[in-house]
Amino acid sequence: MFRATRDDTLVKTIEARYGVNLNARDDAKIGNLLERRGFDSVTQLMRAHRGDLPFHASKRRIYISFHIEDIAQVNGFRLMARAPNCQIEFHDGSLRDAVNSTRSTYIKQEIRAIIQRASVIVCLIGNGTAWRDWVEWELGTAYALGKGICGIRLKDSRGKTPQLLIDINAPIAHWGSTEDLIRVIECAAARRS
């Protein structure tokens, strides 16, 4: 059971007490961190950090990174926003231009702005996702911007997981119950920097 914690407690104290890395400055106050990440209490933050929070602590702005061949399942995932227990809104766009196309500079600028407004980046992992330059760029940009990052393996996919998700030990769920998908989204929100 977690103890009640004052808002002015330092992050380094919480990290030492619970043996976690919150990806925040040691001298930051936990109350500010909770507000920035959208959690009501340290208990809620710790449950989310462990991947054990089955509900959204607050409304999450989601950017979806995916391979265009998986658009049918992506659209199914987008329907989650209509579920009564989901507090998410999607901010994303699908791309048909190559990363190094003549329009890539403009496209990257626009996508970076969208990712900047999101709190969590969800990579929908299909059979060809790991080899897509845009997915790699979107995940790298989200990581550089300190966004929460998680993966959801699409139904019946056996494709490789994008390397960045492996490198940062991002939470990954298999397509299944809405509750499992919420758990990884909240875990990513808790672990963001």
**Closest by Cα among 137, 186, 183, 147 to 168:** 147
Class of domain 60-191: alpha beta
Taking only the tens of pLDDT, the chain with its 193 residues reads 445 678 999 999 999 999 999 999 999 999 999 999 999 999 999 999 999 999 999 999 999 999 989 989 888 888 877 877 778 888 765 554 455 556 778 888 889 999 999 999 999 999 998 888 889 999 999 999 999 999 999 999 999 999 999 999 999 999 888 899 999 999 999 999 8
> Would you kindly state where each structural domain of the chain is located, as residue ranges?
11-49, 60-191
Rg (CA), the chain: 17
What whole-number distance in Å separates Cα of residue 149 and Cα of residue 151? Answer: 7
Contact 124, 71 (CB under 8 A): no
Global pTM value: 0.89
- Alpha helix (H) residue ranges in 10-154: 11-18, 30-37, 42-49, 71-78, 104-117, 133-144
Backbone angles phi, psi at 181, to 5 degrees: -65, -40
The two tokens of residue 119 are 């709190």
| Backbone dihedral region for residue 154 (phi beyond 0: left; psi -120 to 50: alpha; all else: beta) | beta
